[in-house]
């Protein structure tokens, strides 16, 4: 293949991060670091009740306070459309209107000279609530005679969808064994290092927003629809964002900050705390009932599943996540007969949003755990069971979806060999477990970019991909430097300003390197072609006789810099060449979904302390199908970071409620993994087959690593101790209780 023969000078190397020095020295400017003249500080007053009617709000005493600039309630929204949402059904008011339907929902907002004054004003806002019955989990929400959270949602179902293949009842008749299990996955907080932060200004020029978002153009669209402004009158600025993982997809706090700034008639900044961010969005909790029929030799013949997603008070991304669970519950396995039903359910909790591999970890927790339950009952090795049923490259995973583009067996063998697999229990009694994740990333198309080669030969890049900490600025710079044959230092990516930055759909769904990267590859190639044409004219030589290297064109033993070519062409000191790139439907395969398959494979070895229930991870091996690793070290970091996030929901993370309120909304009470939790041995394998649709055969890989962790660990515990756990997280207490139950079962 031509692609395999190409020699790369920058792409494929772990170059220094272009934003690294600024970040480690504190020079990188995040939204909360920006200095906007006359900016006021904003805070949101939140409902203490999970469900309550708002009888009245009296703001007069707060408004009379010294230092208070404005107090905002829903009564200020007579001239706008105060509902936002990611779906056609915009059901989410930017501030509570008649009811608060989750604890933590904003019911008023204050702008003051400082945050302390804004918080003090809360005590002078008098809200008369009538507390109403609340439902927190899906069983409560769907029970008979439960009050509807929204009048339009029967049985509190926000959305439902189904996948059918073959005849599942016939498949169960043909099965030798049938397994039925129920698994539960809790609500999880994204825990970005930077909680949601936004600054807004409304003046005669329009609306300007500085925000920590991964969707600047989505925020622009949301604000335009709410405030009835043309897109041309709205500017959204984004530079560095301190993590997102889906929590900053689409509008979150931005519309309310704009509304507050509009009333205050001056810029307003809102910097949320961790507790406030936990009440802004979270991951979907899922209850999953799985029924699987198999032959005695382990051949899978039928699968039926009912998946219930706790989507919270409003729709948000619920329907999208619900749709993805239909694929992700399948895993990478071959089923002749399927019937999958997925239900998105409203509850009186904070709305669930996108979160790294939407629906993937939750459904893999069920499927991958049950695979080992099957293996244990049938007396099969869990690795052998999976290899027997893996979909092969070119085969269909889901009907009418793109065939699989990866060699799963190859990747799986790499992982288990690296772990040293010779069975689910090691010779020294350690438990071993494996897990798979095969996901259909959305990776929506429509990314536009421009590459500007300036009069001195330096390069400016305009693209809408947000630097969330994932290394996007570095990889995008590598692609452009590679295409133009210039050093990385000569490439500069400008901060995002929707007034000037070309349109990009979003930063998420593992799409940036694949889709925006392709747009930049095309833009760089366009600019390169223009340089070749100028060089051909300069040297009076055919284009194929010209070599571009280190910012110079060479032919016939002579060379000329890009800057000299541009200067001569424009006959002046200025001028620039502009390359354009647009990644659109033309790069999609047929069928177009998914653009590529994202693979996550994990294998683990654990020690279980039978006296305390504490689990120690001795070794973890993870693998990702990169297609082509444009920056190998960052790829490994993404995969390992994703796996470490998986250890969080495996061992610690969950929202806990009491009387409808979150009771662990601080980082003292909500534990996440630290360096102490890193496995003793931690290996990441990058599979590079050049089979991706992105630049140079690349694929996205940042989401697959999180998926297999929890079931792999639970499987290792079960094989070594006999304790099978079906609910997360695997706290020491829960493991200890499972160990005691296993002892009782074994003694019968």
pLDDT band at 4 (very low <50, low <70, confident <90, very high): very low
Q: Is 368 a catalytic residue?
A: no
Asked whether 535 and 569 are in contact (CB, 8 A), the reply is no
Cite the DSSP H helix spans in 67-110.
none
DSSP 574: -
* The predicted structure's pLDDT at residue 573: 73
Structural tokens at position 593: 């979904």
Burial class (CB in 10 A: 0-12, 13-18, 19+), 2: exposed
Confidence at residue 3, expressed as pLDDT on a 0 to 100 scale: 41
Which of 252, 235, 142, 234 has its CA nearest to residue 195? 252
Of residues 67, 81, 68, the one with CA closest to residue 109: 68
Q: Which long-range contacts (CB under 8 A, 24 or more apart) does 150-159 make?
A: 150/91, 150/346, 153/346, 156/345, 156/346, 156/347, 157/343, 157/344, 157/345, 157/346, 158/311, 158/315, 158/318, 158/319, 158/344, 158/345, 158/346, 159/315, 159/318, 159/319, 159/322, 159/343, 159/344
CB 528 within 8 A of CB 706: no
What mean pLDDT, rounded, does the chain reach?
96
pLDDT (tens digit, 9 = 90+) per residue, 322-357? 999 999 999 999 999 999 999 999 999 999 999 999
Query: Strand pairing partners for 41?
Result: 112, 269
Domains (ranges, CATH) in the chain? 2-28+444-587 (3.30.365.10), 34-132+191-278 (3.90.1170.50), 285-442+593-747 (3.30.365.10)
Q: Which two tokens stand for residue 634?
A: 């960052």
Quick one: average pLDDT of 89-116? 96
Pairing between strand 234-238 and 206-211? parallel
Any bridge partners for residue 128, and if so which? 56
- 3-state SS, residue 140: helix
List of residues 6+ apart from 338 with CB closer than 8 A: 163, 164, 165, 166, 168, 302, 303, 304, 330
> How does pLDDT run across 537-572, given as a tens digit for each residue?
999 999 999 999 999 999 999 999 999 999 999 987
Share of the chain above pLDDT 70, in %: 99
pLDDT score, position 7: 74
For the chain, state the CA radius of gyration: 27
- Residues 86-102 pLDDT 10s: 767 789 999 999 999 99
pLDDT tier for residue 183 given thresholds of 50, 70 and 90: very high
pLDDT band for position 403 (50/70/90)?
Answer: very high
Nearest in space to 357 (alpha carbons), one of 61, 648, 706: 706
Buried b / exposed e over 218-256, threshold 16 CB at 10 Å, is bbbbbbbbbbebeeeebbbbbbbbbbbbbbbbbbbbbbb
Question: How far is residue 705's CA from residue 715's CA, in Å, rounded to a whole number?
Answer: 17
| Catalytic residue of the set 144, 162, 703, 745 | 703
Q: Can you tell me the distance from the alpha carbon of 502 to that of 30, in angstroms, rounded to the nearest whole number?
A: 21
Distance of CA 334 to the CA centre of its chain: 27
Number of helices and strands (H, E) in the chain? Answer: 19, 31
426-479 pLDDT per residue, tens? 999 999 999 999 999 987 788 999 999 999 999 999 999 999 999 999 999 999
Rounded mean pLDDT, 595-617: 97
pLDDT at 721 (0 to 100)? 97
Q: Could you tell me which of 146, 171, 46, 40 has the C-alpha nearest to residue 105?
A: 46
Burial zone of 588 (CB within 10 Å; 0-12 exposed, 13-18 middle, 19+ buried):
middle
Burial class (CB in 10 A: 0-12, 13-18, 19+), 167: middle
Q: What is the pTM of this model?
A: 0.96
The pLDDT value recorded for residue 746 is: 83
Is residue 408 within 8 Å of 567, Cβ to Cβ? no
Q: Distance between CA atoms of 157 and 210, rounded to whole angstroms?
A: 35
Tokens of 721: 């101790």
- Report the pLDDT value the prediction gives residue 6, as an integer from 0 to 100: 63
Provide, rounded to the nearest whole percent, the portion of the chain with pLDDT above 90. Answer: 94
Strand order in the sheet with 547-549: 547-549, 552-555, 558-561
The answer on pLDDT for 391 being more than 80 is yes
What is the mean predicted confidence (pLDDT) over 263-292?
98
């Amino acid at each position: 293949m031509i692609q395999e023969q190409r020699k790369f000078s920058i792409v494929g190397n772990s170059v220094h991060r272009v934003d690294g020095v600024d970040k480690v020295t504190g020079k990188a400017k995040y939204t909360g670091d920006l200095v906007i003249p006359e900016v006021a500080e904003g805070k949101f007053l939140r409902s203490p009740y999970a469900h309550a009617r708002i009888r009245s709000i009296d703001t007069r005493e707060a408004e009379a306070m010294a230092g208070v600039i404005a107090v905002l309630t829903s009564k200020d929204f007579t001239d706008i459309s105060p509902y936002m949402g990611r779906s056609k059904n915009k059901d989410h008011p930017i501030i509570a209107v008649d009811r608060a339907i989750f604890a933590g929902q904003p019911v008023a907002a204050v702008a003051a000279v400082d945050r302390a004054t804004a918080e003090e004003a809360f005590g002078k806002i008098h809200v008369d609530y009538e507390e109403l019955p609340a439902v927190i989990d899906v069983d409560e929400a769907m029970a008979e005679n439960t009050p509807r959270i929204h009048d339009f949602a029967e049985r509190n179902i926000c959305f439902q969808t189904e996948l059918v293949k073959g005849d599942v009842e016939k498949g169960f008749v043909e099965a030798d064994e049938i397994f039925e299990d129920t698994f539960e996955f809790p609500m999880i907080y994204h825990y970005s290092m930077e909680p949601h932060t936004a600054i807004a200004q409304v003046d005669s020029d329009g609306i300007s927003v500085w925000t920590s978002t991964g969707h600047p153009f989505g925020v622009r669209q949301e604000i335009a629809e709410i405030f009835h402004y043309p897109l041309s009158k709205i500017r959204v600025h984004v530079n560095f964002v301190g993590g997102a993982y889906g929590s900053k997809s689409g509008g979150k706090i931005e519309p309310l900050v704009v509304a507050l700034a509009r009333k205050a008639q001056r810029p307003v900044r809102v910097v949320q705390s961790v507790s406030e961010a936990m009440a802004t969005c979270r991951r979907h909790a899922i209850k999953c009932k799985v029924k699987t029929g198999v032959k005695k030799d382990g051949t899978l013949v039928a699968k039926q599943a009912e998946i219930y997603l706790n989507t919270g008070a409003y729709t948000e991304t619920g329907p999208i996540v619900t749709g993805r669970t239909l694929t992700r519950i399948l895993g990478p396995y071959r089923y002749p007969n399927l019937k999958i039903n997925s239900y998105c359910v409203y509850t009186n909790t904070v709305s669930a949003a996108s979160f790294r591999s939407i629906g993937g970890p939750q459904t893999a927790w069920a499927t991958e755990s049950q695979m080992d339950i099957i293996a244990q009952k049938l007396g099969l090795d869990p690795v052998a069971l999976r290899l027997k049923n893996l979909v092969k490259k070119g085969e269909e995973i889901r009907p009418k979806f793109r065939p699989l583009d990866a060699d799963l067996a190859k990747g799986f063998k790499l992982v288990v060999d690296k772990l040293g697999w010779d069975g689910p229990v090691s010779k020294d009694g350690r438990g071993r477990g494996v897990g798979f994740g095969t996901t259909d990333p959305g990776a929506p198309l429509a990314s536009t970019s421009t590459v500007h080669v300036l009069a001195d030969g330096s390069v400016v890049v305009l693209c809408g991909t947000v630097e969330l900490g994932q290394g996007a600025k570095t990889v995008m710079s590598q692609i452009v430097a590679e295409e133009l044959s210039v050093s990385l230092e000569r490439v500069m990516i400008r901060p995002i300003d929707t007034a000037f930055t070309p349109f990009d759909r979003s930063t998420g769904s593992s799409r940036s390197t694949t889709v925006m990267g392709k747009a930049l590859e095309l833009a760089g190639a366009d600019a390169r072609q223009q340089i070749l044409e100028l060089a051909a004219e300069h040297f009076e030589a055919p284009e194929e006789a010209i070599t571009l290297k280190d910012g110079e064109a060479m032919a016939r033993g002579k060379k000329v810099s890009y800057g000299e070519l541009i200067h001569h062409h424009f006959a002046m000191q200025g001028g620039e060449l502009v390359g354009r790139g647009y990644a659109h439907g033309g790069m999609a395969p047929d069928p177009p979904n998914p653009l590529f398959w994202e693979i996550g494979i994990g294998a683990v070895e654990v020690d279980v302390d039978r006296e305390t229930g504490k689990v120690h991870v001795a070794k973890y091996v993870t693998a990702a199908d990169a297609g082509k690793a444009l920056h190998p070290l960052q790829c490994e970091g993404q995969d390992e970071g994703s796996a470490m996030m998986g250890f969080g929901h495996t061992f610690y993370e969950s929202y806990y409620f009491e009387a409808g309120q979150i009771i662990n909304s601080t980082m003292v009470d909500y534990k996440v993994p630290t360096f102490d939790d890193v496995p003793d041995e931690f290996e990441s394998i990058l599979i590079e087959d050049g089979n991706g649709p992105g630049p140079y055969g690349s694929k996205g890989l940042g989401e697959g690593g999180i998926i297999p962790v929890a079931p792999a660990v639970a499987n290792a515990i079960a094989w070594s101790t006999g304790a099978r756990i079906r609910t997360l997280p695997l706290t020491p207490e829960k493991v200890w209780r499972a160990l005691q139950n296993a002892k009782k079962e074994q003694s019968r």
